[in-house]
Amino acid sequence: MLELEIERVAHGGVFVAHHEGRVVFVADAVPGERVAARVVDQGHDRFWRADTVEVLQASPDRREHVWAEASVDRAPEHRAGGAEFGHIRLDRQRELKADVLRDALARMGGVEREVEVHAVDSELAPGASDTDGTGWRTRVRLHVAADGTIGPYATRSHTVVPVASLPLAVPELGAIAPLGDRFPGAHAVDLIAPSVGDVAVVVVEGERMPQAPRPTIEERVGDRRFRLDRDGFWQVHRGAAATLSRAVQELIDGELFDPRAANHDLYGGVGLLAAAVGDRFGDAVRITTVESDPRATEHAGANLAEWVGARAVTARVDRYLDELAASAASAGAAEQERIRSATIVLDPPRSGAGRAVVERLAELRPRQLVYVACDPIALARDVGLFRERGYELDELRAFDLFPNTHHIEAVARLRAIV
């Protein structure tokens, strides 16, 4: 057992302390606290990992955890995972997330910038609480133990923790969650609350979904509806899709936008952000959405069908850009200008776009990029890569789409330096 002074936040929902010159990443703490912590991982030369066992001197930012089953009062191995900031006042959570993004941009992106993390507009997320950060999650996966008991995993483990409540879930899911039931032989139990239609409890029998026709659902964003597979990707916060759509619309510089250019929505899913572009700039917009999941692409084509200039392509983004660069090299001046005049929206997975995609985009030289990121480290790395290739971070907004967790969503505009 170690007695540690907690210094600052680190990426990943943990906090930094030092012991005899070694960095210790501590869970369930708050900067400024003194805690007793148990080391759980000594497998690294440069740092250890530890869990808070007792708070010896509490921060004024500490509060009673919003999820009793995740509280520091429980043994670490019996704490529910998925709400690692739930013991911290909500306004302080946002400050800590801003610190992580600001530090990442400075260290990896070479950009010094003030960051403010904004709450989701309450009008976009009815039922969610901006007082304690509960009631927002529309998708919940509960894992199944060997005896059929269901619950979340404990942090950094595959131990199922039985729970009596799901405070981060929208109230409709809390009302139907079969938390006391057993599901022997099942892989997981998914709870889904689409914005259109009924909530659902889905028992997942295996790790892979069957190839038979899958059930679909509809989601509403403003006046627009999107169809997708019930097990397909959609933002989990009730107000996230509308928040990101609005941010993308606002961050596109209208003076740089050419509706006839080779505009793209990369990692486009079912067409959410392509639709946001079209809704701002009108039905004359030409835009191609690129997504590797063929089912999502199929839905994107239908969701964007009203735009003659919209096209949905099934492809890995890196390979698609390779082909686009090759064709651009042999194309005429008019086609090359369409690419250089383009606006590119990209919403990559948590790992970010990465070097290969950044290099291809920089080679194609579109006027502006609007980058939606769910990981501050990946965003900062890619901002740094773009800066090395002639793009500057022009504007940045960050949103608290995952209250009571360490996760943060950011939308950045990068502009080609002429």
- Measure the CA–CA gap between 402 and 408, rounded to whole angstroms: 7
DSSP annotation of 107 reads: I
Q: In what order do the strands lie in the sheet with 139-144?
A: 150-151, 139-144, 188-192, 200-204
State the Cα torsion 402-403-405-406 to the nearest 10°. 80
Q: With contact defined as beta carbons under 8 Å apart, do 204 and 153 qualify?
A: no
Ligand-binding site membership of 112 (annotated): no
Ligand-binding site membership of 123 (annotated): no
- Measure the CA–CA gap between 313 and 293, rounded to whole angstroms: 10
Ligand-binding site membership of 235 (annotated): yes
Q: Which of 253, 243, 250 has the alpha carbon at shortest distance from 342?
A: 253
Q: Which of 345, 357, 364, 374 is catalytic?
A: 374
Q: With contact defined as beta carbons under 8 Å apart, do 297 and 311 qualify?
A: no
Confirm whether 374 is a catalytic residue: yes
Q: Is the dihedral of CA 417, 360, 385, 379 positive or negative?
A: positive
Ligand-binding site membership of 391 (annotated): no
- Measure the CA–CA gap between 394 and 367, rounded to whole angstroms: 12
Hey, what amino acid is at 169?
Answer: A
- Measure the CA–CA gap between 384 and 113, rounded to whole angstroms: 13
Which residues are designated catalytic?
Answer: 374
Annotated binding site: 235, 267, 291, 347
Annotated binding site for S-adenosyl-L-methionine: 235, 267, 291, 347
